[in-house]
A and B are shown apart, each in its own frame.
Chain A
Amino acid sequence: MTKQFRILYKVSIIILAILAAMLIGSIILMTIGADVFKTYLVILFEPLKTTLQLSEVLLRAIPLTIIALGISVAYRSGIINIGAEGQMAMGILGTTAVALAFPELPKPVLLPMAVLAGAISGGVWGFIPGFLKAKLQVSELLSTVMLNYIAAQFYTFLLRGPMLDPAELTMGSGTPQSMRLSRNLWLDRFLPGTRLHTGLFFALILALLIYFLLWKTKYGYKMRAAGASARAARYGGISVTWYLVIAMVISGAFAGMAGAIEIAGVHRRAIEGITGGYGFSGIVVALFGGLHPAGIIPASFFFGLLIVGADMTQRMVGVPANMVNVLQGIIILVIVATKMILADPYLMEKVWRKVQGLGKKTKEVTA
């Protein structure tokens, strides 16, 4: 097998995968009678046209990056965290609680404290499924999903009750939201006229941090070993269950921080629907980014683009914004299938023999 063939094979598989994903998406789009080509064009290019829209894309990429980094740590350690949605909600609650309790603290104290509170709340919410998996073999897929629903209910309970804006109570308009959080919590918006905030740099720093953790420390090595082959890692003296729990705590803490950054930078008060699917998109971003920080950053930009673009299709071509969920679902299915095809040496060999056979036949014909 020649090297050129190998590269050609892999590239054509990836191109086929992209085509397959777009084809399934097109079927759904055709069902609702939309202009397929124009819809893809709007989703992919419309948000890049103005600075304001571009800043909105980056704004969505910030929580996506942070969540996907956490999910990649868990995934590499052999545990799939689909509870980022709930962990993010708990992070928002933790941050809000601290900001409501100590509004007078100066910014250099309050901001780190509130973000830390968010990380701890998210981390606790990640610890539960990690512990259940390690000690009681409870499937993390089911427990994290259930914790999402529980967190969502807890979130609305607090927003409607203990954390409800006193102004809402007197005005009685009934919107479940907290009061506007202290100015000392706010992240600066550095691009005039947009909502883009300094959380962007925070996300980049976290990406570096994860890179160092996973590839430059022994803890990261042990986590990756536990994920790659739990039995081999256990034989090598690594406490797989311990690293599983740690990975879930990190994963949850990152989702919690994403929530903290999101309300400190964008909403500045806890309202309903902040998490809005970020937890699930984070899974797609992590997979799409190859579970590596260097891949996750561009991947989160791409999915930020999809989210903003899908919002615009509603107005421009009449395609509901839910289309982004459809695309994300397809992308997951296609990525996991493609990964397996690429990792299958038998299949590559089969194709190679076929190609060689074809070559021989054409030679015989010309001879």
Chain B
Amino acid sequence: MNFIVNILSLGIPFSVALLIASLGEMFNQRAGVFNLGCEGIMAMGAFLGMLVPYSIGQGGPTPGIYNVLGLALAMGVGALFGMLFGFVVVTFRAPQGIAGIGLQMFGVGTAGTLFRHFVGGTQSVPGIGNLPIPFLSKIPILGPIFFSHNILVYLAFLFVPTAWYILFKTPWGLRVRAVGTNPRAADSIGIQVNKVRYQALAVGGALAGLAGAYLSLCQAKMFSDEIIAGRGFIAVALVYFGHWHPVKIMGGALLFSLAQALQLAIQGQGINFPYEFAVMLPYVMVIVVLAFSRESQLLGPTALGQPFNREKRI
């Protein structure tokens, strides 16, 4: 029993970075833009998130404010990166897959360069501590699993219904889905396709930046070049796996992180299993999941990956 509680209470915080990044990527893809550069934006977010509390918040009286500033900076720059990507793939209509790789290299490279200059080596930050909810966290079993995490964990799970509401119940969500499904029809009723795509990219970028900052401020409490470790790419895969729906994406993120928690717990039990194969597990899972969910691609936004050219006939 204790073992299962351990896995669940470990796995839920693990899922947050994936969850936030995938929700952002979902908005991108719903608007018809495939942003493979998520990994790069996350790297930037992870660096900027820890930079503020590290450089100016050191030993200050109110570290909380600097953490919030770090998160805000990560989100702002993330949105900026999303729009930079939009400039390339929306305005100039470049192929999105290869441009995404460019954004990924740019983001990871910039984060690494700035990190070496402003921080130097491995430096830990106090980060954002846990915030057990009064009374609720005292409940046996359920308390440690659901109610004794840091504040971003609760927020991330609140993002799920919020994202659902925005996507399916607001005019903007309708516009996002329209430009991702049939941009020409959307254009004909007066929706500015490229503008909506830019907005979706900004939202997606901000969320990816936040996801990165979560990793450096809450999970690792430091920055390193390998901190993202492919989570940005896994987040993109989770959007496919979750059929472009927030709730299913949450399910996917939980599945992945619980598998990771299980692996850690098994290692902790001293069972002899090569460490490297355990680390491989999520990456293998992505390939297997993608291979066995081929029908799901029929559910995706029909204009996914297709740039919109207003002047083109047909």
Chain A residues close to B by CB (< 8 Å): 28, 31-33, 80, 82, 132, 136-139, 141-143, 145-147, 149-150, 153-154, 156-157, 160-161, 280, 283-284, 287, 318-320, 322-333, 336-337, 339-341, 346
Query: Chain A residues with Cβ under 8 A from B233's Cβ?
Result: 142, 145-146
Query: Chain A residues with Cβ under 8 A from B297's Cβ?
Result: 137
Cβ of B101 and Cβ of A283 under 8 Å apart? yes
Chain B residues close to A by CB (< 8 Å): 36, 40, 84, 87-88, 92-95, 97-110, 112-114, 116-118, 225, 229-230, 233, 236-237, 240, 274, 276-277, 279-280, 283-284, 286-287, 290-292, 294, 297, 311
Check A153/B280 contact, CB under 8 A, given A132-B291, A142-B237, A340-B94.
yes
Cβ of B104 and Cβ of A329 under 8 Å apart? yes
24 CB < 8 A contacts A-B: A33-B117, A132-B290, A136-B294, A138-B294, A141-B97, A142-B240, A143-B287, A149-B230, A153-B276, A153-B277, A280-B101, A283-B98, A283-B101, A284-B105, A287-B98, A325-B109, A326-B110, A329-B104, A331-B102, A332-B105, A333-B84, A333-B106, A337-B87, A339-B94
CB nearest to A128 among chain B residues = B287
Query: Chain A residues with Cβ under 8 A from B98's Cβ?
Result: 80, 283, 287, 332, 336
Cβ of A319 and Cβ of B113 under 8 Å apart? yes
Cβ of A337 and Cβ of B94 under 8 Å apart? yes
A341 to B88, CA, bound (A): 10
Check A157/B311 contact, CB under 8 A, given A329-B102, A329-B109, A333-B99.
no
A157 to B112, CA, bound (A): 26
CB nearest to A325 among chain B residues = B109
Check A32/B113 contact, CB under 8 A, given A141-B100, A329-B105, A330-B102.
yes
Query: Chain B residues with Cβ under 8 A from A146's Cβ?
Result: 230, 233, 237, 283-284, 286-287
Check A80/B112 contact, CB under 8 A, given A138-B287, A149-B230, A157-B277.
no
Cβ of A80 and Cβ of B88 under 8 Å apart? no
Query: Chain B residues with Cβ under 8 A from A160's Cβ?
Result: 276
A250 to B176, CA, bound (A): 40
CB nearest to A33 among chain B residues = B117
A153 to B87, CA, bound (A): 36
Q: Chain B's interface: helix, strand, loop or mixed, by majority?
A: helix
Query: Chain A residues with Cβ under 8 A from B118's Cβ?
Result: 32
Query: Chain B residues with Cβ under 8 A from A320's Cβ?
Result: 112-113, 116-117
Cβ of B40 and Cβ of A337 under 8 Å apart? no
Check A157/B103 contact, CB under 8 A, given A28-B113, A138-B294, A323-B109.
no
CB nearest to A281 among chain B residues = B105
A346 to B114, CA, bound (A): 40
Q: Specify which of A33, A82, A283, A325 is in contact with B108 (CB 8 Å cutoff).
A: A325
Cβ of A329 and Cβ of B107 under 8 Å apart? yes
A142 to B230, CA, bound (A): 10
Query: Chain B residues with Cβ under 8 A from A287's Cβ?
Result: 98
Cβ of A142 and Cβ of B113 under 8 Å apart? no
Cβ of A330 and Cβ of B106 under 8 Å apart? yes
A82 to B277, CA, bound (A): 22
